Amino acid sequence: MADQTRNPAPYTETDLSLIKRIIPHRYPFLLIDKVRDIVPFKSGVGIKNVTANEPHFEGHFPDQPVMPGVMIVEAMAQTSAIVVGISMNIIDQPMLTYFMGIDKCKFRRMVVPGDVLELHCTAIRGGGKIWKFEGKAMVDGQLCASAEFTAMMALKEDE
């Protein structure tokens, strides 16, 4: 990966269009709608508008739809990948993100259709290919889930 750490992209918020220019995820696995309050190399807040139309609710669970915990953790990871993409100025480049570890993961409250999920992600360590984040998923100020996770960010040419 080129050394782009000194020139972060000049964004503090991303819309869906910019998100798609940073990470490769698409429907049905793109789990964030925007990221706001981006502080390069430090933090960002992802927003996920949870709707009843999402495919996982058909089976999880038909009579009482609940967003799967692994999808919440994935949404935190996607938010973090956007923070990395902005920090490293990796836009319109083929960046891939690979989970390396998930620690201290806890689920506290169900996330259901109609919720606006806020994904507060803070870098614990990063600046190169390997990043570690702390994530907190919140709805209406209530903690739904939390985790620490480590991921490797790589451009396809670096593989």
Whether 25 sits among the annotated catalytic residues: the reply is no
Per-residue model confidence as pLDDT tens digits over 144-159: 999 999 999 887 775 4
Give the CATH number for residue 146: 3.10.129.10
Q: Does 45 fall in a domain?
A: yes
The number of helices, as runs of H, and strands, as runs of E, in the chain is 2, 6
Q: Please state the domain count of the chain.
A: 1
Whole-number Å distance between alpha carbons of 71 and 121: 15
Q: Does 11 fall in a domain?
A: no
pLDDT confidence tier of residue 77, bands split at 50, 70 and 90? very high
> What is the domain extent for residue 44?
16-158
| Residue written as token pair 């938010």 | 79
Per-residue model confidence as pLDDT tens digits over 100-123: 999 999 999 999 999 999 999 999
Catalytic one of 25, 56, 60, 120: 60
Residue 147 identity = A
Whole-number Å distance between alpha carbons of 71 and 23: 16
Percent above pLDDT 90 for the chain = 85
Q: Does 102 fall in a domain?
A: yes
- Output the pLDDT for position 155: 79
Q: Does 87 fall in a domain?
A: yes
